[in-house]
Chain A
Amino acid sequence: MSINATLLGQILVFAALVWFTMKFIWPQLLDAMDQRNKEIADGLEAAAQGRSELDAAQERIEKLVSDARGRASEIIDQANGRAARIVEEAREEGERERLRLVASAHSEIERETSQARDELREQVAALAIAGAEKILQREIDARAHGDMLQRFAARI
Chain B
Amino acid sequence: MAAESGGGGSAAYIEHHLTNLQAGEGFWTFHIDSLFYSVLLGVLFAGSFYFAARKATAGVPGRWQSFVEMLVDFVNTQVKDAYHGPSKLVAPLALTIFCWVFLMNFMDLVPVDLLPRIGELMGIEYMKVVPSTDVNITFGLSITVFFLIIVFSIRAKGFGGFGREILFKPFGKWLVPFNVTLKVVEELAKPMSLALRLFGNLYAGELIFILIALFTLGETLSSLVTSAAVFSFVVQFVLGLAWALFHILVITLQAFIFMMLTILYLSMASEEH
Contacts and interface: CB of A to CB of B under 8 A. Distances in A.
A22 B88 contact: yes
Interface in A1-35: 1-11, 13-15, 17-18, 20-22, 24-26, 28-33, 35
B122 interface: no
A36 interface: yes
A4 B141 contact: no
A9 B143 CA distance: 12
B139 A18 contact: no
Most chain A Cβ neighbours within 10 Å, of B29, B30, B56, B144: B56
Contact of A17 (B35, B42, B72, B137): B42
Interface of B is mostly: helix
Interface in B179-203: none
A21 B27 contact: no
B87 to A, nearest CB: 10
Interface stretch (B90-98, B166-174, B222-230, B249-257): B90-98
B220 interface: no
Contact of A7 (B57, B65, B100, B143): B143
Q: Among B29, B57, B58, B88, find the residue whose CB has the most chain A CB atoms closer than 10 A.
A: B58
B50 interface: yes
* A4, A14, A21 — most chain B CB neighbours (10 Å): A21
Contact of B144 (A14, A28, A29): A14
Given A10-B136, A15-B144, A26-B72, A4 B28 contact: yes
> Among the interface residues A11, A29, A36, which one has the most CB atoms of the partner chain B within 10 A?
A29
B31 interface: yes
Interface string B22-65: 00101111110011001100100110011011101111010001
A33 B69 contact: yes
A26 B267 CA distance: 19
A97 interface: no
Interface residues of B, number: 47
Interface in B76-93: 76, 88-89, 91-93
A88 interface: no
B125 interface: no
A6 B49 contact: no
By secondary structure, the A interface counts as: helix
Contact of B134 (A6, A20, A30, A39): A6
A18 B89 contact: yes
Contacts of B54: 24, 28
Nearest to A36: B58
B151 interface: no
Per CB-CB distance, the 10 closest pairs between chain A and chain B, nearest first, are A10-B140, A6-B136, A35-B58, A32-B56, A22-B92, A28-B53, A26-B92, A4-B29, A21-B92, A6-B31
20 contacts: A3-B136, A4-B24, A4-B30, A5-B24, A5-B28, A5-B30, A6-B35, A6-B136, A6-B137, A7-B143, A13-B140, A18-B89, A18-B93, A21-B93, A25-B50, A28-B54, A29-B49, A30-B72, A32-B61, A36-B58
Interface of B: 24, 26-31, 34-35, 38-39, 42, 45-46, 49-50, 52-54, 56-59, 61, 65, 68-69, 72-73, 76, 88-89, 91-93, 95-96, 100, 134-137, 139-141, 143-144
Interface of A: 1-11, 13-15, 17-18, 20-22, 24-26, 28-33, 35-36, 39
